[in-house]
């Protein structure tokens, strides 16, 4: 086995101290005398190779999460890695070693989507730590591959306790107690390190419990290195080190910041602070050993990537491996499987034999931005919603179109009066047998601070409602007699309770990728089926805690006592699946399901566990934990297994699911995990075991008791 770290140590030993410092910058210069080319570490691969020209654009990460499919996600990540390698090979062959051309991908984002107002929630895998852990591990495995060398180097970000508000992130102190850290904020990062062997970890902009994340002794040394055994390199978020003295005011200047960050374990600086290490070294603040150790860590990554090898199995990838028909097909399949059917009164799929005219209305109907989301590449071909519906409708159905309104402004045309497209929309609706109403957001108004240019909340949402321009359009259309199917393209959960009652069908399509419109059209006309489940709760506006409060009380399906509009894990389908039987022990669950419908389908089998906290708190067998186990802070239930199962018409299938290794543990107030004695209740179904899901689906979960 190759000792990559020893190779790195040998190469770094030949550098001067100044040269070693230069290699701790994200845009590391060449050291020609040692045969080291320039290298820029910054590349993105969230849902496709990003910001470097043509590449396959998959649905945004939150949409990929809605697939509830680890195998499918790993396959997508492998394609992203292939295209990234191919573009890297082509660029370096032509002397281009610029930004976004490398094979170190600053993805995935495995922060918890704890508040639906967060603009960057679209980049995550949702609100559940177990789902996020499983999908994060799968994505990292796909990016890094199983070869002799890493295919690409993945990066788990943003470590840790980071999920808005965007406007405060550069100076904010996110406070979370030991229980919330262990139970919610850290599991996905721990899994990324220990299971997926993620090559790098990115520190967040904010402080966590007083310490800057990119210079945190608790996070970087105690947890990451000592407790979890992380062996890769740590990189700062872009300009996050400058925040330490400019906004957090933990240090006085760049020299103090560079000193603190290096000593605490930040190995690579995305930004412009580490040039101050030259002065810090000259003044004796940092040692040569500390500088070289950081350089060894980043060069170990480059060695693992085969950058200095002549036998790397990925060096032959090139232009013909990018944007292939097979990759495009995978993007289409992902868009179908990501779409979540929230409501269907029987109108879907549309019966083409009974329809002569379809009206497509709304500001997202012809949009490319709602296909992309943020951190995206550029597809060679996009199919927007309007074009996808036209293609699926065929030549015998007339498709009428109206933009209806601006995405968020009062008028579409400058100098026009407000709502200048509504009369046209009403005309289209009057002449149509059904209206497909395309509403939502896009990454110009929902996303990352500084990356969106929006006029609202630095990329966050002020409310969970759609923009006023779109609500006014709906108010006008709801007075017509034409049935409405609502299509929502967003990166997050939206409160559509004001619209739900008038809609015959509702589809949540996320930012759906280059084939998003094709998938939508096929779903509407029954040529494909919606296969997604919600990875985030759709809450009613006004029910969320204060945005800046990082306590999990009242957040996510596990702790929120409010009834949801649409619950986590929920999603309808065109198939008819019945749950026949359910058995479980401590490690495995077996669920028998039957497709009673006439078409093949896919079911997302979900297993939840309740630790029956109140009962255990009173059990003398758990007396030793009584003082540190608050029953009021335990989750109602938690997802502990899921599996996407293909099932043919009329078939029965027995699905075996491995339960989470943490399923029967209880997180105590002090952050320790304990296996409490007593009765645990397991639930199996295509949803979580709440009353709202049962009401929406007409189904209840099966139950099984396990006693420890």
Structure confidence at residue 254 (pLDDT): 98
d(CA 412, CA 638): 45
Q: How many CB atoms lie within 10 A of CB 627?
A: 10
> Prior bond to 158 cis, omega within 30?
yes
Total number of domains in the chain? 3
Q: How far apart are CA 264 and CA 536, in angstroms?
A: 34
Residues 295, 414: one domain? no
What's the DSSP call for residue 292? H
Q: Pick from 685, 505, 536: which is nearest to 66 by CA?
A: 536
Q: What is the pLDDT of residue 616?
A: 85
Q: Is 345 helix (H, G, I), strand (E, B) or coil?
A: coil
Residue 234 CA: distances (Å) to CA of 9, 24, 213, 237, 283: 17, 11, 11, 10, 25
Residue 453 in this model has a pLDDT that exceeds 70: no
Cis? peptide before 536, omega within 30° of 0: no
CATH number of the domain to which 336 belongs: 3.40.50.1700
* Widest distance between CA atoms in the chain: 81
Q: Do 582 and 515 fall within a single domain?
A: no
Question: For position 46, what pLDDT does the model report?
Answer: 98
Q: What is the pLDDT of residues 323-349, one digit of tens each?
A: 999 999 999 999 999 999 999 999 999
SS3 207: strand
Is 110 within the bounds of a domain? yes
How far is it, in rounded angstroms, from Cα 276 to Cα 253?
Answer: 9
Note whether 319 and 65 are within 8 A (CB).
no
Mean pLDDT (whole number) for 251-262: 98
For position 614, what pLDDT does the model report?
86
The residue from 496, 531, 559 where one domain ends is 559
pLDDT digits (tens, 9 = 90+) for 343-370: 999 999 999 999 999 999 999 999 999 9
The helix (H) or strand (E) run that includes residue 62 is: helix 61-66
- Domain for residue 476, yes or no? yes
Which one from 180, 237, 442, 690 is the annotated catalytic residue? 237
Binned at pLDDT 50, 70 and 90, residue 567 comes out as: very high
| Residues paired with residue 122 on neighbouring β-strands, in sequence order | none
Q: Over the chain, what is the mean pLDDT? A: 96
The answer to whether residues 130 and 195 touch, using CB atoms and an 8 Å cutoff, is no
The reply to whether 223 and 371 lie within a common domain is no
In this predicted structure, the answer to whether residue 455 has a pLDDT above a threshold of 60 is no
- The reply to whether 50 and 188 lie within a common domain is yes
Residue 229 is assigned to a structural domain of this protein: yes
Same-domain check for residues 37 and 121: yes
DSSP letters spanning 473-484: HHHHHTTSSS-E
HEC per residue, 393-443: HCCCCEEEEECCCCCCCCCCCCCCCCCCCHHHHHHHHHCCCEEEEEEECCC
Q: Does position 296 have pLDDT exceeding 90, yes or no? A: yes
What was the pLDDT predicted at 116? 97
Same domain, 370 and 494: yes
Locus of tokens 């001067």: 16
Please report which helix (H) or strand (E) contains residue 303, including its range.
helix 288-304
Quote the CA–CA distance of 321 and 83 in Å, as a whole number.
6
Provide the 8-state DSSP code for 220. I
**pLDDT tens, residue by residue, 36-79:** 999 999 999 999 999 999 999 999 999 999 999 999 999 999 99
468 and 414: one domain? Answer: yes
Q: Is 634 helix (H, G, I), strand (E, B) or coil?
A: coil
Q: In this structure, what CATH number is given to the domain that contains residue 656?
A: 2.60.40.10
| 315 tagged catalytic | no
**Cβ atoms of residues 65 and 47 within 8 Å:** no
624 and 554 part of one domain: no
pLDDT of amino acid 613: 87
Residue of 530, 690, 701 lying closest to 605 (CA atoms): 701
Nearest to 500 by CA among 389, 351, 344, 348: 344
> Using CA atoms in the order 406, 412, 414, 417, what is the torsion angle rounded to 10 degrees?
-100
Q: Percent of the chain, pLDDT > 70?
A: 99
Banded model confidence at residue 497, pLDDT cuts 50, 70, 90: very high
Whether residue 419 lies inside any domain: the answer is: yes
Instruction: Please check whether residues 265 and 378 belong to one and the same domain.
Output: no
Token pair of 354, please? 């009974």
Is 703 a domain residue? yes
567 is a domain residue: no
Q: 479: Cβ–Cβ under 8 A, 6 or more apart, which residues?
A: none
Specify whether 525 is located in the same domain as 656: no
Residue 139: pLDDT over 70: yes
Q: Determine the structural domain holding residue 395 and report its residue range.
A: 325-559
What mean pLDDT is predicted for residues 235-249? Answer: 98
Residue 571 domain flag: no
Q: In whole angstroms, give the CA distance from residue 434 to residue 450.
A: 40
Q: Which of 75, 83, 66, 50 is nearest to 126 (CA)?
A: 66
CA distance 366 to 360: 9
Q: Can you name the residues that pair with 235 across neighbouring β-strands?
A: 202, 268
Share of the chain above pLDDT 90, in %: 95
* β-pair partners for 589: 584, 657
Alpha-carbon distance values, 682 to 275, 566, 675, 688, 705 (Å):
55, 22, 16, 11, 6
Q: Please check whether residues 519 and 550 belong to one and the same domain.
A: yes
Give the residue from 542, 579, 581, 576 showing the smallest Cα distance to 562.
Answer: 542
Q: Give the N- to C-terminal CA distance of the chain in Å, as an integer.
A: 43
What CATH number corresponds to the domain at position 284? 3.20.20.300
Boundary residue ending a domain (280, 302, 319): 319
Q: Based on the domain organization, do 546 and 590 belong to the same domain?
A: no
Please give the structure tokens belonging to residue 547. Answer: 């945005």
């Amino acid at each position: 086995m190759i000792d990559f770290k020893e190779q790195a140590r040998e190469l770094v030993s030949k550098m001067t101290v100044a040269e070693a410092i230069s290699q701790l910058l994200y845009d590391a210069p060449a050291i020609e005398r040692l045969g080291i080319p320039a290298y820029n570490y910054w590349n993105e691969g969230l849902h496709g190779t990003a910001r470097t020209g043509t590449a396959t654009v998959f649905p945004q990460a939150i949409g990929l999460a809605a697939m509830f499919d680890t195998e499918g996600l790993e396959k997508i990540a492998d394609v992203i890695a292939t295209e990234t390698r191919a573009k890297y090979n082509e660029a370096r062959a032509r002397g281009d070693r610029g930004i976004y051309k490398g094979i170190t991908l600053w993805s995935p984002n495995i922060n918890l989507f704890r508040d639906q107002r967060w603009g960057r929630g679209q980049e995550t895998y949702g609100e559940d730590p177990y789902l996020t852990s499983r999908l994060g591990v799968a994505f990292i495995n796909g990016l890094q591959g199983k070869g002799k060398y890493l295919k690409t180097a993945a990066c788990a970000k943003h470590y840790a306790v980071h999920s808005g508000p965007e406007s405060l992130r550069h100076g904010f102190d996110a406070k979370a107690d030991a229980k919330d850290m262990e139970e919610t904020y850290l599991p996905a990062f721990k899994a990324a390190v220990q299971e997926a062997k993620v090559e790098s970890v990115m520190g967040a902009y904010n402080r966590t419990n007083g310490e800057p994340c990119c210079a945190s002794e608790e996070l970087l040394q105690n947890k990451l290195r000592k407790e979890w055994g992380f062996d890769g390199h740590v990189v700062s978020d872009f300009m996050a080190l400058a925040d330490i003295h400019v906004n957090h005011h933990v240090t006085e200047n760049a020299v103090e910041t560079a000193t603190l960050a290096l000593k605490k374990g930040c190995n690579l600086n995305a930004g412009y602070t580490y040039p101050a290490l030259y002065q810090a070294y000259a003044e004796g603040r940092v040692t040569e050993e500390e500088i070289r150790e950081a350089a060894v860590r980043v060069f170990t990554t480059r060695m693992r990537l085969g950058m200095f090898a002549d036998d790397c199995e990925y060096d032959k990838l090139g232009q013909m491996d990018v944007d292939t028909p097979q990759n495009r097909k995978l993007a289409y399949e992902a868009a179908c499987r990501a779409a979540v059917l929230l409501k269907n009164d029987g109108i879907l799929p549309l019966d083409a034999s009974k329809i002569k005219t379809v009206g497509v209305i709304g500001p997202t109907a012809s949009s490319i931005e709602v296909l992309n989301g943020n951190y995206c590449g550029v597809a060679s071909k996009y199919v927007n919603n309007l074009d996808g519906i036209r293609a699926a409708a065929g030549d015998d159905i007339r498709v009428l179109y109206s933009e209806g309104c601006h995405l968020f402004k009062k008028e579409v045309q400058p100098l026009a009066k407000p709502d200048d497209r509504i009369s046209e929309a009403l005309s289209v609706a009057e002449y149509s047998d059904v209206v497909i109403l395309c509403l939502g957001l896009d990454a110009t108004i929902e996303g990352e601070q500084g990356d969106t240019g929006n006029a609202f909340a630095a990329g966050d949402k002020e409310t969970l409602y759609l923009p006023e321009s779109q609500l006014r359009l709906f108010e006008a259309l709801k007075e017509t007699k034409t049935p409405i199917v609502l299509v929502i393209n967003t990166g997050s959960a939206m409160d559509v309770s004001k619209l739900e009652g008038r809609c015959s069908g509702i589809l949540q399509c996320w930012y759906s990728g280059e084939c998003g419109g094709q998938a939508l059209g096929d779903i509407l006309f029954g040529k494909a089926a919606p296969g997604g489940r919600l990875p985030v709760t759709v809450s009613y506006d006004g029910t969320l805690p204060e945005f800046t409060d990082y306590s999990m009380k009242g957040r996510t399906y596990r702790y929120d006592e409010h009834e949801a509009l649409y619950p986590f894990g929920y999603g309808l389908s065109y198939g008819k699946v019945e749950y026949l039987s359910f058995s479980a022990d401590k490690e495995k669950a077996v669920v028998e399901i039957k497709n009673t419908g006439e078409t093949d389908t896919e079911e997302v089998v979900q297993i939840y566990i309740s630790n029956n906290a109140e009962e255990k708190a009173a059990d003398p067998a758990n007396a030793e934990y009584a003082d540190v186990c608050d029953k009021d802070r335990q989750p109602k239930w938690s997802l502990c297994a899921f599996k996407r199962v293909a099932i043919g018409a009329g078939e029965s299938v027995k699905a075996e699911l491995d339960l989470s290794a943490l399923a029967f543990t209880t997180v105590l107030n002090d952050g320790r995990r304990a296996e409490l004695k007593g009765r645990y209740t397991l639930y199996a179904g295509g949803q979580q075991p709440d009353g709202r899901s049962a009401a929406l689906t007409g189904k209840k979960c099966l139950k099984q008791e396990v006693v420890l």
